[in-house]
Amino acid sequence: MRFVVLGIVLALPVVDLWVTTRLARWSGVPLWMWLTASLAAGLLLLRHERSEFRAKTLAALSADRSLMRELLDSGRKVLAAILLIIPGVISDVLALLLLLLPINQHGFRPQPATAGRYGGGEVVEGEWRRE
């Protein structure tokens, strides 16, 4: 079983570079341009996420947001940057799929458990009496 996994791990970069050269030959884009653009995008994403991580962590600690959600989002972006740095089309497609996941967007955020029936901690004005 170990040798099967080792064979897959060692064969993936070879297959990835073979697919990249075939795609470069088919599309007419030079191979070095494809690899350089992918490397530059990965390095820029890694640099941006490195500077953004501290701000996200401090904001999550000072607010009522989940720190784990911010850590998972940063980890997802770092993994995508590493996949962009690795030469090949297959790893680039995997990186783009990771970046397109709607994990930390506004429409996907669940309500916190303390939100209650009226939303996120709103005060409802009114009068009441005990019967």
Instruction: List, as one string, the DSSP characters of 58-89.
Output: HHHHHSSS-HHHHHHHHHHHHHHHHHHHSSSH
Q: Is 119 helix (H, G, I), strand (E, B) or coil?
A: coil
Residue 35 structural domain: 2-105
What total of structural domains would you count in the chain? 1
Are the CB atoms for 63 and 70 separated by under 8 Å? no
- Could you tell me if residue 121 is inside a domain? no
pLDDT digits (tens, 9 = 90+) for 32-83: 888 899 899 999 999 998 888 888 888 777 876 677 877 888 889 999 999 9
Q: What is the pLDDT of residue 79?
A: 92
Element (H, E) at 30: none
Structure tokens at 95: 């990186």
- Could you tell me if residue 118 is inside a domain? no
pTM higher than 0.85: no
